């Protein structure tokens, strides 16, 4: 059985966490790994239904995602999470919980400036939040605490999806989670 680990994507809404998680999962599966994606929106619908967007409930949601990630990783599955997870303290707590069992944890910070996120936002949520029409919106009227030492940083306002995926996979190789690719 291959060794499981958690690949934790964090970043603001619309930064590209889910967009990157799909091709990463495909490439990991092609390399022989069992992979499950824990997308924040899907988890909120099925595992965390009824939680609000208060700090306490956001922390509960992140801990739930972390718990499932830990179970998957210790059973040889790569848990790819794509969740805003706005608070550094809870992300660090989840990292510690997952790694105390010997499973790996790789944090990927998907950075994107608010101005770019607002331009991309087809639902207009950033514009409403910036205008004060939505309260408690992460990165605008509620905090987003960027990671201090993530294993990987990608900037979705500058880096293509393909370049970001390659950067993340190269880091996984460097950390020993993926075998080096053989030259053709």
Structure-block tokens of residue 72: 């998957």
Phi/psi for 160 (5° steps) reads -70, 165
Distance of CA 103 to the CA centre of its chain: 17
Where b means 16+ CB within 10 Å and e means fewer, 27-63 reads: bbeebebebebbbbeebbeeebeebeeeeeebbebbb
In 3D, which of 40, 27, 111 has the Cα closest to residue 69? 40
Q: Which residues are catalytic?
A: 85
101 CB-side CA count, 13 A: 20
> Which residues, other chains included, contact 131 with Cβ-Cβ below 8 Å and sequence gap of 6+?
none
């Amino acid at each position: 059985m291959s060794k499981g680990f958690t690949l934790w994507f964090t970043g603001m809404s619309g930064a590209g966490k889910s967009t990157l998680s799909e091709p990463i999962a495909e490439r990991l599966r092609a390399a022989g790994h069992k992979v499950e994606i824990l997308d924040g929106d899907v988890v909120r619908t099925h595992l965390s239904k009824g939680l609000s967007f208060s700090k306490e409930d956001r922390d509960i949601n992140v801990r739930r995602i972390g718990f499932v990630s830990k179970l998957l990783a210790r059973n040889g599955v790569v848990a790819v999470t794509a969740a805003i997870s706005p608070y550094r303290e809870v992300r660090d707590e989840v990292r510690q919980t997952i790694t105390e069992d010997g499973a790996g944890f790789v944090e990927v910070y998907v950075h994107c400036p608010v101005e770019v996120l607002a331009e991309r936002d087809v639902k207009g949520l950033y514009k409403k939040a910036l205008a004060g029409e939505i309260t408690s919106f992460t990165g605008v009227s509620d905090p987003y605490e960027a990671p201090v030492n993530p294993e990987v940083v990608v900037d979705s306002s500058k880096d293509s999806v393909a370049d970001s995926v390659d950067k993340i996979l190269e880091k996984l190789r460097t950390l020993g989670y993926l075998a080096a690719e053989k030259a053709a």
